[in-house]
Amino acid sequence: MQLFYFYNMLIIPAIDIIDAKCVRLTKGDYDTKKVYNENPVEVAKEYEANGITHLHLVDLDGAKKGEVVNWKVLEAIASNTKLNVDFSGGIKTKEQVKQAFNLGANQIAVGSLAVKNKQEFVDWIWEFGEEKLILGADVMNEKIAVNGWQENSHQSIFSFLDFYFEEGIDYVLCTDISKDGMLQGPSFSLYQKIIKEYEEIKLIASGGVSSIQDLHQLKEMGCYATIVGKALYENKITLKELQPFIENIE
């Protein structure tokens, strides 16, 4: 039943922002930055024109600095497309959450604060609703990383998820940092463990997607959605190849 429920896996392209430009990093290393497009709105519009409905927008400047930097990019994409945008990177206060929603974000993805100030994030879950918040679980060797992946928290992914599962979190975005930007395939074994342990969580897989076969495998595993980033920029996966996934979303 679970595989049937998640059969129409969402495909969510990622737009990562540094200096208001579309970039990609390798393994979260800012020194590996590669600029793919200087106009994020143009990229978002292309995705929308090809049937994409959701977008993962990451303020990498904000993640590194510890406060949101690229508010204008969020506002521009939200006001020029009808994409369902989940936004992350440097959000630390309730006022910033409200501002992101006011500028057009549909959901907020939170990682570092959810590690360092659990009670604050739990308060957000209660105030804004679990459907509006995505728990960001960025992982290296099954340990949670924070601050734009620059710091290891030494906390197990599973103890982290245990806590928030009890608090009613619904969406979890899990990124295996060792896979991110490598185009060598996702962390299938990690995602399988999470799906088996937390059947009710909507797992969004991220990192390493390199082919359409990867997406089929993640779908069959029961992932709710998958983030696709570098594979689209590098034409390892084309928007045309994604059409069967897009057309099957109800």
Cα distance between residue 158 and residue 144, in whole Å: 9
Provide the strand spans (E) within 19-142. 21-26, 29-37, 54-59, 84-88, 107-110, 133-140
Task: Note the Cα 95 to chain centre separation in Å.
Answer: 21
Burial class (CB in 10 A: 0-12, 13-18, 19+), 159: exposed
**How many residues are recorded in the chain?**
250
- Quote the DSSP letter at residue 235: T
Is residue 114 helix, strand or coil?
Answer: helix
* Active site positions, annotated: 16, 138
